[in-house]
Amino acid sequence: MNWNLSDNLFGFDDPDSRGQRIFRRAFELFICYGVLSLAWYWGLYTLRIGDVVLELGLANWLDISFMHGNSLPIWNAGLITAMIVAGFFRLGKWWYSVAFVLLLFQYAARFTLGEIPHSSNLVGMGLLGFALAELFFPERTSKGRFALGFSYFFIGLGYTSAAISKLVARGITWPDGHNLWMWINEKAVDEIARSGFVELNVLQELALSNWWIATAFLAIGLLTEAFAWLIWFKKTRIPVVWGILGLHIGIWITMDILFQLSVMELLLLALPWGAFTDRFWPEKVVGITQS
């Protein structure tokens, strides 16, 4: 097996196919969709924000309150939309980069109330990958391959970093089931805050009634994160993506947290869509005759 990281991430010398091209374009389309949904969701939410409790991102460097109390977030969402459409239809190489910068403002304006979310990071990194691909790579195939490889790299790095953060903070006792008890209760309170009521599901009840089961859930999650870097390599990529998807489903069931865009992105990466497409819609090869 080839363990060369660059070859595994980018594969610039690999043969290309119709299926691979469609897959890369579909991935780009998903990132565009993710960016637009974030830009508008954040923009509309920001309209109700009247004070800065915690500065995040760009707000560390500039007073982001100029985005509050007016319709700037909506104008910004509109501009991001125009940039993304222009970028997707290849109307210039700078559009994705400008959209990325505008999205930094949108994020900083939205998350000033203290919440530090992580559900949008993968989409943000995906956009950065396509922005850099447009700036530094010459033609469509290499741009797409770089952007995809860039996303694989930072997905692996992100989840592995999450495991390292846990081990640094709590050591190997992090998977202690009591921690899950605290989080289940915390998320139950969030649900009461959200809807007024809460009803625990069977898995939550099971974890709360048995320390060993709660500990096993956390240990499996930690191991999955710790080996997420294996997504960098072609041979291990798909099983690792499924493992991370399983982790997200576990988090969803036990703690009622669903990182929707991250899960959608992982689902797109979890199956060999390119190979499927090539199998059922093969490209005609011109100039080769069978003897």
Partner 1 sequence: MKGKSLTKKARTVLLAVLAVYAVTVATHLGEFWPFSIYPMFSQGGNPWSRALVREIPDSDSISWSPVALDDMPGLPYGVATNGVDPIDLANFVSKTQTWSTDRVGALSLMLLSNREADPIRLQVFRVQARLTESNDVDIQATPYVIVGTGIEPGIGSLNPVLVP
Give, as ranges, the residues between 124 and 143 that touch partner 1 (CB under 8 A): 124-125, 127-128, 132, 136-138, 142
Residue from 25, 90, 170, 235 touching partner 1 (CB under 8 A): that is 170
**248 is a contact residue toward partner 1 (CB under 8 A):** no
Number of residues near partner 1 (by CB under 8 A) = 72
What does the chain come to in residues?
A: 291
**275 is a contact residue toward partner 1 (CB under 8 A):** no
Shortest distance, position 251 Cβ to partner 1, whole Å: 9
- Of the ranges 24-32, 80-88, 102-110, 281-289, which one interacts with partner 1 (CB under 8 A)? 102-110
Burial class from Cβ neighbours inside 10 Å (0-12, 13-18, 19+) for residue 142 reads middle
**81 is a contact residue toward partner 1 (CB under 8 A):** no
Whichever of 150 and 277 has its CB closer to partner 1, that residue is 150
How far apart, in whole angstroms, are the C-alpha atoms of residue 246 and residue 244? Answer: 5
Shortest distance, position 21 Cβ to partner 1, whole Å: 17
How far apart, in whole angstroms, are the C-alpha atoms of residue 88 and residue 185? Answer: 44
Residue from 30, 146, 227, 229 touching partner 1 (CB under 8 A): that is 146
* CA distance from start to end of the chain: 33
Cα–Cα distance list, 28 to 35, 93, 275 (Å): 11, 15, 18
Task: Looking at residues 204 to 233 of the shown chain, list those that interact with partner 1 (rule: CB under 8 A).
Answer: 218
Shortest distance, position 124 Cβ to partner 1, whole Å: 3
User: Which residues have C-beta within 8 Å of that of residue 154, sequence separation ≥ 6?
Assistant: 122, 125, 129
**13 is a contact residue toward partner 1 (CB under 8 A):** yes
Cα–Cα distance list, 137 to 82, 124, 131, 201 (Å): 23, 20, 10, 49
**239 is a contact residue toward partner 1 (CB under 8 A):** no
- Of the ranges 79-87, 109-117, 199-207, 235-243, which one interacts with partner 1 (CB under 8 A)? 109-117
